[in-house]
Amino acid sequence: AQKVTQAQTEISVVEKEDVTLDCVYETRDTTYYLFWYKQPPSGELVFLIRRNSFDEQNEISGRYSWNFQKSTSSFNFTITASQVVDSAVYFCARKAAGNKLTFGGGTRVLVKP
Amino acid sequence: GAGVSQTPSNKVTEKGKYVELRCDPISGHTALYWYRQSLGQGPEFLIYFQGTGAADDSGLPNDRFFAVRPEGSVSTLKIQRTERGDSAVYLCASSPSPGGVSGANVLTFGAGSRLTVL
């Protein structure tokens, strides 16, 4: 199986610090999409960002930014100036041929006031 | 509806019993997905519907699991002869269309049904 690996199981920061979440994926496909989802304590997965494999331009959206590097199969995600409401589990996911999302194991982020 | 609705939110059952979990997708979404999330893990794909038909059921763990979507809207995930290992949160998601790879549509998830098998 082509895995998505999130090596960090838990990150704890103090409010206003930046948080970077690592994601490494395996794929044999030339075309694929990468996603980040947030799962707050309520349990509902919330879509954050999507990136396609043929566009490595990194972007910023509000306090979120991401660093996609195809050469290292990494898709890292940064929250700038973290807030308590950012406390959640964050999942990286990959979508290739077919319609399945393959998720990583998640990284729990705890932002302390 | 405004979002993906799943019922029940919590279900406790005894080993060997039959369980049904319901998913009501966003109105107009043709694609519907079921995922299972065990404690401390990421969601795992179970089955995907395009309209009424199951386009990919490769994630169903065994023949005790079955899902239907008879009218192309609401879907029911059915689990027979439940086992303790079936305990998990079952997530449903929908999207406007499958999108394939060239147009990967974003999945909107429900809050899940937490199943506990005693």
Tell me how far apart the alpha carbons of residues B71 and B65 are, in angstroms, rounded to a whole number.
20
Which segments within chain A are labelled E, that is strand?
Answer: 4-5, 10-14, 19-21, 24-25, 33-39, 46-52, 60-61, 64-69, 74-79, 88-95, 101-103, 107-112
Judged against a pLDDT cut of 80, whether residue B10 lies above it is answered with yes
At A55, is the pLDDT very low, low, confident or very high (cuts 50, 70, 90)? confident
Angle at Cα A110 formed by Cα B113 and Cα B45, nearest 5°?
A: 35
pLDDT of the residue at A52: 85
Which residues in chain A are contacts of B59 at CB distance < 8 A? 100
Best residue in A2, A4, A35, A45 for a mutation probing chain B (most B CBs within 10 Å): A45
Tens-place pLDDT, residues A90-112:
999 998 766 788 999 999 999 99
- A80 pLDDT band, cuts 50/70/90, is very high
Amino acid found at B106: V
Quick one: which H or E segment has residue B13? strand B10-13
pLDDT computed for residue A53 by the predictor: 85
CB contact under 8 A, B112 and A99: no
Quick check: B92 pLDDT over 60? Answer: yes
Q: Categorize the per-residue pLDDT at B98 as very low, low, confident or very high, splitting at 50, 70 and 90.
A: low
What confidence score (pLDDT) does residue B2 get? Answer: 80
**CA dist., res. B69 & res. B72, Å (int):** 5
Buried b (16+ CB within 10 A) or exposed e, B41-75: ebbbbbbbbbeeebebeebbeeeebebebeeebeb
**Distance from B92 to chain A by nearest Cα, in Å?**
10
Between positions 55 and 114 of B, the ones with CB within 8 A of A are 55-56, 59, 89, 91, 93, 98-102, 104, 106-112
B56–A98 C-beta distance less than 8 A: yes
Q: What is the pLDDT of residues A5-20, one digit of tens each?
A: 999 999 999 999 999 9
